Amino acid sequence: MSPDIRTEKPGTIVTYPEDLKWEAVGPLDDNGKGIFVSLLYGDLKTKSPTNLLMKYSAGVTALPHIHSGDYYAVVVSGKLRHFLESENEYKVLAAGATWFQKSNVVHQDCCVGPEDCILNIFWPQGFDVAFVKETCTH
């Protein structure tokens, strides 16, 4: 008998990493690489508190973008560059690194290294994104 995707007992619900449901947010390249989310709490359509895991495929760069609300992020795995104007503004962020992103500030993210990058992001006012001109170079 195989284990349930979500194990639920009084007082707790457990989801194992291999059972996470990932949804693409944005286009995928010819190899299926891109940016994906797995929703933990809330939803992506309303302006209500939302918590999610975000996965960048190895080597993927997000176009420059803004959000209308602040967010709090934690690197769960992989190596990521998060920056405003230049990739070298900060050291490469590894598991355990955190940042707070103010609303309406153009920023970018690049997953560097051979493994996917997974982030945990909390959006107090809900998730949204608007893209601006491309500036990231490797």
> pLDDT at residue 133 above 90?
no
Which of 1-15, 39-53, 68-82 comes out lowest in average pLDDT? 1-15
CA 105 to chain centre: 17
Domain 39-131, architecture per CATH: Sandwich (2.60)
* pLDDT > 90? residue 68: yes
Look at residue 88 and give its three-state secondary structure. helix
What pLDDT is stored for residue 134 in this prediction? Answer: 55
Beta strands in 16-89 (DSSP E): 23-24, 35-41, 50-56, 65-66, 71-77, 79-83
* Dist. CA 51–CA 131, nearest whole Å: 21
pLDDT at 2: 43
SS3 category, 18: helix
Asked if the model's pLDDT at residue 40 lies above 90, the reply is yes
What's the chain's length in residues?
138
